[in-house]
Amino acid sequence: MPRKVSVVAWGVVLFVSWNALLLLYLMSRPRGPNPSDLTARVIRLAEDAEAELEKQRGLLQQIHHYSGLLNRRPPPRRETRAPPSLPRLANVSSTSPSPTGSIPLQVTIPILVIACDRPSVRRCLDSLLKYRPSLETFPIVVSQDCGHEETGRVIDSYGSAVTHIRQPDLSEVPVPPEHRKFQGYYKISRHYKWALNQIFMTMGYNSAIVVEDDLEVAPDFYEYFQASLTLLHQDPTLWCASAWNDNGKEALVEGGASFLLHRSDFFPGLGWLLLRELWEELEPKWPPAFWDDWARRPEQRRGRACVRPELPRTRTFGRKGVSQGQFFDQHLRFIKLNQDPVAFTKTNISYLLKEIYDPWFIGQVYGAPRARVEEVLRGHVLGGRTVRVEYTTRDTFKALARAFGVMEDLKSGVARAAYMGVVSFTHKGRRVYLAPPGDWTGYDPSWT
């Protein structure tokens, strides 16, 4: 602090002396060659003044710059966002070798909480605040749509622990008549666009974790995302990290493998990290509704994958919502939230980088003995703890998925949690790869 104060003081002294010298100079300078030419003199004076102003502006900028540099924690200092004259600090994170998953310097990752009319957002915020290791590193921004007063009061009750912003446009979205019942989805899409623009454009952050108001988080939620951020910077074939495993039910996950992460071609949402670059890419074409299924289309995904955990780091407690009533009862309430924290930032997770993961993954899947579904279900499998069950058509995939209790729906041809067409889960302690034949060439978007 004293250093900072002295630099600022020096700056001020410099600034004042500059002005004093300038005044002396202007007063003592000889008259122009043609004193009677008033117009020319006025123009000269104006030009001089402008040049001086320019110099002074530069000086002030320098003062500002240096005091900013010494200020290690300016209120929300954006993640690795450096003043323009510095070498881009972002390079530190994107190029740091960090094979051990070491964290980039001075990173800030805001949590964007999408809220509307559910006062139960309290449960979400309580859980986010319970595990938050640092307010500076993880500022929480709650974006509220819908103008719901009670929900607004709940958010405000957290005071300075969170930032409350309000989506200003509460009007109905014009929709085609046959979509009138989907009005809610249009408003959600509009809200996401506005809120993400606030985070990236208005507030200037370089990354964000998006969380909906009906999610609660695991103790190592922040560790997971902080470590994943490094991966996203390193690997352009990753476009998100998600806290969610669509098949994260107790019976389908390896209980002791909290540390285990995967790549997924399916965009899971439900607590997910993205970089500014992705938002800049998606924002101009952001859809009026159903943004998540839109994001899953090949034109948006462009072959990119997300990181997802074996054990979920979020769980939804909400039932009320535009889509989730029945789905919650049948499925979501069985999702297992990880309770065994992993220090991901101190763990080597570079195995998720494409060039390391893909050959390993192919070897695992197609090196595993092939078994028939009945054999696996009955536990009559000879050999290892890993097996492969193959599907060839959409219908066999669905039938097999149903038999094992994994999600059977497909979006743009991609099954939930699938990677290279393979859905990986456990069945009675055995790792099962539900996989297409080895000569698989890609997803078929007509599989729905």
Binding site for ligand NAG (CB under 6 A): 87-88, 91, 95, 99-100, 348, 350-351, 356
Comparing CB distances to ligand NAG, the nearer of 137 and 234 is 234
- For the chain, state the CA radius of gyration: 28
Q: How far is the CB of 376 from ligand NAG (least distance, A)?
A: 29
- Active-site hit among 292, 293, 358, 444: 292
Closest CA relative to residue 9, chosen from 72, 61, 53, 67: 67
Of 88 and 180, which CB lies nearer to ligand NAG in the complex structure? 88
Q: Residue 31 burial by CB count (10 A; 0-12/13-18/19+): exposed, middle or buried?
A: exposed
Cα 18 to Cα 21: distance, rounded to the nearest angstrom: 5
CA distance 236 to 268: 18
Helices (H), 247-378: 276-282, 291-295, 298-301, 325-330, 354-367, 373-378
Choice between 262 and 297, CB closer to ligand NAG: 262
Contact 296, 265 (CB under 8 A): no
Q: CB of 387: closest distance to ligand NAG in angstroms?
A: 24
Of 234 and 316, which has the nearer Cβ to ligand NAG? 234
387 in Cβ contact with 368 (< 8 Å): yes
Would you call 292 a catalytic residue per the annotation? yes
341, burial (CB in 10 Å: exposed 0-12, middle 13-18, buried 19+): middle
By the 8 A CB rule, do 435 and 388 touch?
Answer: yes
CB of residue 323 to ligand NAG, shortest distance in Å:
39
Give the shortest CB-344-to-ligand NAG separation in angstroms: 13
Between residues 144 and 226, which has the closer beta carbon with respect to ligand NAG? Answer: 226
Nearest distance, CB of residue 99 and ligand NAG, angstroms: 4
Rounded to whole angstroms, what are the CA distances from 10 to 5, 24, 56, 62, 216? Answer: 9, 21, 15, 11, 49
Show which residues are catalytic. 292
